[in-house]
Amino acid sequence: MESRISREPRQLPDLSRYAPDLLNLERCRIAASTLNSPLTLYTFGNSSLTIMNVAIVGPAFFGYLNRIAGFMTSRGIPTRFYDEFPSNGILTKIILRYSPLSVRQYATRGYHEKITAEIIRSGATHVLFGTIEMFPLACIRRLSDHGVVMSRYAWDSVHNKPYAKTLDPYMLAVASFDPVDCELEGYMYIPLYSGIREVAPTDGGDIDFLYCATFHSNRPSVVTNIIDESLLENWKIELMLFFHSKKLWHLRYLFSPAVWHMGRLITTTPFSLDEIASMTARSRVVIDIHHDGQSGLTMRTFEALSLGAIVLTTNTIAREGLPPQLRDRVVTLDLRDVAGSMRKALARPRTDLTEEMRYYLSANRFIDQIIALLLGTEERAETRGVGTLAGCESEL
């Protein structure tokens, strides 16, 4: 099957071209609310949308994909989420994360065949795959043989999750949150979003720095340095650290004694959106330590910006991945000068967000773009990601 996605690597351009101009974005949002506009795909009189029945397949991390299914259903598009993993138990996760691909696929073959049959029986017209790690080619072919239209949204980079890329020839379209992958692979650029609806005050909070994340990779060592600087400067810092198993975390950092003391701060219960929103609204600066091998902006970045906080991030291209109107709200965390970066972030004022900014950061914008992806809208990275949107008027 011939892919519609370009595979020719190109030299990386100035990634700022992936950031939409908010004025054009607002014009698009207004156009989408006009009944006779070609952008008005969210109307029950439009057969392209009303006949859609969507299945979402991917890992169940923190319920993100399940919430996206809920957003889609609220738009009038029946959508059901299917977990790629047969179980979310610790032992199962360890085996399926770290075993060779052939072992993982053999162990889960029956489960994947079962959910493939369920998707077909449900009458699904479209499947949206998340960052799948082992869903087999045989099941992809079976869905294709039954006329199911498949697309993929990458929540991680090709570098970190290479298997999903091998299935791209069967996809109508592929999008990613990672602008570097969009350039190298020809994917559509769809940034993440904030699932938080609350509006924070802009007069600053009682917490200087907040860090909320899954506590893996180099994050413990970076946070140790941040804590040291906060103690020296008498800054108030709050930590919300998650890892699915304390024993596994200690095993993972067995040869890193400098971070062992951080283990006592970890919780094995995921934080709710309400908890994250409450702490973020009280924080002047939210810290983001991005995962190695990817360049996409994280959910925490969008949540922090939507609540008026300044973002201090190790992602060196984060500013260029945002509209120009939001870039002053992001400060790069220079690991060679942690204290200087923290001072710089604290010096940035919290200011009100415009309606256009709120739409860009919202789940409504994200779902608009996902609908366009599923319908095969011919957008490419060259259109700056959201040059044209498909969807209804944003509910700001």
Per-residue model confidence (pLDDT) at position 34: 40
For residue 67, what is the enclosing H or E element?
A: helix 64-74
Q: Which domain holds residue 68?
A: 15-193+363-383
Residues 182 and 249 placed together within one structural domain of the fold? no
Query: Which of 39-53, 116-130, 371-385 is the least confident region?
Result: 39-53
2 inside domain: no
Residues 152-177 pLDDT 10s? 999 889 988 899 999 999 999 999 99
Residues 341 and 268 placed together within one structural domain of the fold? yes
Per-residue model confidence (pLDDT) at position 51: 79
Residues 372 and 344 placed together within one structural domain of the fold? no
The CATH number of whichever domain residue 189 belongs to comes to 3.40.50.10140
The CATH number of whichever domain residue 271 belongs to comes to 3.40.50.2000
Per-residue model confidence (pLDDT) at position 38: 34
Please identify which residue in the block is written with the tokens 């082992």: 134
Mean pLDDT of 231-236: 96
**Using CA atoms, how far apart are residues 198 and 306, in angstroms rounded to an integer?**
8
210 neighbors 283 (Cβ within 8 angstroms): yes
Per-residue model confidence (pLDDT) at position 108: 85
For residue 279, what is the enclosing H or E element?
A: helix 273-281
Residues 235 and 309 placed together within one structural domain of the fold? yes
Joined together, the tokens standing for residue 374 give: 């599923």
Tell me phi and psi for residue 312, to 5 degrees. -110, 110
Residues 144 and 228 placed together within one structural domain of the fold? no
What confidence tier does 24 reach under pLDDT thresholds 50, 70, 90? low
Residues 217 and 259 placed together within one structural domain of the fold? yes
Q: What is the mean pLDDT of the chain?
A: 81
182 inside domain: yes
6 inside domain: no
Per-residue model confidence (pLDDT) at position 102: 82
Q: How many CB atoms sit inside 10 A of residue 260's CB?
A: 12
Per-residue model confidence (pLDDT) at position 61: 73
Angle at 144 (CA atoms; ends 139, 148), nearest 5 degrees: 110
Name which of 20, 63, 7, 346 is nearest 185 in CA terms: 7
Residues 178 and 282 placed together within one structural domain of the fold? no
Per-residue model confidence (pLDDT) at position 75: 87
110 neighbors 86 (Cβ within 8 angstroms): no
pTM here is 0.80
Count: domains in the chain: 2
Look at 69 and 218; give whichever has higher pLDDT.
Answer: 69
- Is residue 274 classed as helix, strand or coil in its secondary structure? helix
Per-residue model confidence (pLDDT) at position 201: 52
Alpha-carbon torsion 269, 314, 179, 100, what sign?
negative
199 inside domain: no
Per-residue model confidence (pLDDT) at position 382: 31
